[in-house]
Structure 1
Amino acid sequence: MLLPVLQAVSQVAAKESPTVLNLAFADQQLNTALRLMQGQIVGLRSGVLPPWSVSLIAQGVHPVTIAEAQQVGGSLQGALEFLLDRGYLGRAQLDGVAQERALSALLPLAWQTSMTSSALWADAPSELPLNSTSTQQIIETAERHAALLTREERALKPSSRFSANPLSVSTMVGNEDKERVYHAAMRGLSLGEMSQRLPQRWDTLTQTVSRLLREGALRPQNAAAPREVADALKAGQAAPDFCLPDLAGGELRLSALRGQPVWLVFNRQSTCAMCNPHHAKIIAMHELLRARGVQIVSVWGSPLEDLSSGIGRQRPPYPVLADPNDETYDRYGLRMSLKGTLDPRNLSTMIQGFRMMGASALKDDGELLRMPAEFLIGADGVIETAHYNSYGSDWLPMERVLSWADQQTVPDRH
């Protein structure tokens, strides 16, 4: 006996004519659209799926190759055809990824009883066709995996949030799935946000969360409102104060630097292939800026313990701060952007970054979709330039920073 939602999909899939089925739920992140034709799923849109790039990276496709495929292909379908034509993926492998994505979309729906509608849509979602897998096979597989979930795992929702026990961090070593989920919880991500960012199917994700809850590494939080991200800051506004741990030890409070001009750089994760080449240039400029009285401060969306193996390898002569919970990023109005992350203009910087960082550049210890930003702050604590990267490597030109520094008053050192 099929579960209610899967039964609704099965009934529509039996139709001969192409049909788009919209499954709507009280929890809107579960809303799913399926395009069905002759017993096959040929289109899919789901709020719990990660971007295709995450699925491809999990298959061993290099991020630089994905960026090149997008640049050449111009669309998802074109990018996938590029990867097939160049031999980066085999057809069977790509079909397997598509099948897993369809399964990942259906699994969180299997035990839902709050479906508000199952209307047919004229708006067809775009997704790679599942050439050789029938809808019925996907549904049967989804029901089989759903039956293995415990009552506690079934009760987990996309809105579920957790607090991480800092004393459990050492127990994560050696288990990549547990480590990813633990660090995602440390950053304040909900279960639904984890499903959009981590290469884990919904059932394995909920099983990992359940295991961490039993071990005491995670604790459930009451349903919380989504994180509030401030509006983008502008020149003339006071720079919001913050206090963050420093890789060199202790903490740094921004207001403690009042009286000095500050170049504040917000980065992505500590091993980022777009951020580390930028900091190589900043390090080379450090003495010039220090002579002009400018203090450089860099903030990274990674746990403190991960900074030394990332940006710390360059030994920056300025503060390197950790904000794994993204609280400062939110106060400064930084946003996520898949388009900006995959922008082909990032390619040359990413190649340089992968040469610098090696395989560690693939480590996800922060927000991969985060767009960086830079702020030039006067000695009075007022923002003089607010620059939000439109794509990952869209940094402020060094000439502009030097020109700004030349206009600052060098503090009296006597």
Structure 2
Amino acid sequence: MGGPTANNSDKRIGVILGDGIGHEIVPATQRVVTAAVTAAGGADVDWVTLPLGLGAIDSHGTPLPDSTLAALAELDAWILGPHDSAAYPEPFRGQLTPGGVIRKKFDLFANIRPARSLEGVASMVPDMDLVIVRENTEGLYADRNMFAGSGEFMPTPDVALAVGVVTRRACERIAHTAFALARTRRRHVTIVHKANVLSLTTGLFRDVCRDVGERHYPDVQIDDQHVDAMTAHLVRRGRDFDVVVAENMFGDILSDLTGELSGSLGTAPSINSSDTQVMAQAAHGAAPDIAGHNRANPTALMLSAAMMLDLFGERRADRHLVGAATRIRDAVRSTIASGVATADLGGLASTSEFTETVLARTLRR
């Protein structure tokens, strides 16, 4: 789908509350995005609110209505709140999660998860600043590696098998994403694999990523690590890494690790992107135990929305969206650095108090 030109002021962004704390952190993020875009000189955001999750089961009989998918097909960017599929009634509980369906339908092949320590947040690696670039469509994850059916199956009640899929095409496009990103940072890509054991599958991933880097990005330094060794390196010297590219499962595990090493999953942003569409989705879950108590931390989703605006703005050549992303990042970081933080970060602020402070700082510049 073709995006609007730079002169088009249309800023239609989808917004999906999801479940649990999504009903608190998504509206908070929505308010901050609206304020940031306006303060950056852009036109008002046209929010497209779409049903998903437990509420959609009640209203539409399914956690992911066809109308939501149809609306997303017409959008270039949206915010997805966390969903709690474990709480869905059968038969929905055992089905592919709404987020998984969306990723698969719109081929959101790049999951980009920065891990950067924040002033005011205790961390095991205080000066960490890296990005995990995770291939999001293949690997060993049964929900996204087959055209039809599942990549997991049981030929007998006592034997379970899993199919891992790695293709040259998927490796090439995630490699381009990683190396292009590295050019905007410190020009260093680390390829993570397990080619000493999974020599054909992750060996193909390693070799294709290295080939893309050597042929198309000669200005970017390349190295590679076995995934088990990489976990140790991240704990010991996480500050030494810049962009880390990995297949699906390894990227999922490593990004949770780096999120905690840099501070907390509550501060770890994430986007899922294709060549034309981008979805902001924090890495953490729906936290139903604190939902409705005004205690949830919106940091990760606010920073995810900033990443979304950056990419959305870059693709549209819209400096207002890019400027809004900078405002949000600066406001969130300065708010936490000032000591205003939610309880999970050791602070005393409620969700609404944190959001009001971020809003004020977003408008300050």
- Max Rg structure: 1
Q: Which has the higher contact order (CA 8 A, sep 6+)?
A: 2
TM-score range, shorter chain: under 0.3
Q: What is the TM-score of this pair, normalised by structure 2?
A: 0.28
Q: What is the TM-score of this pair, normalised by structure 1?
A: 0.25
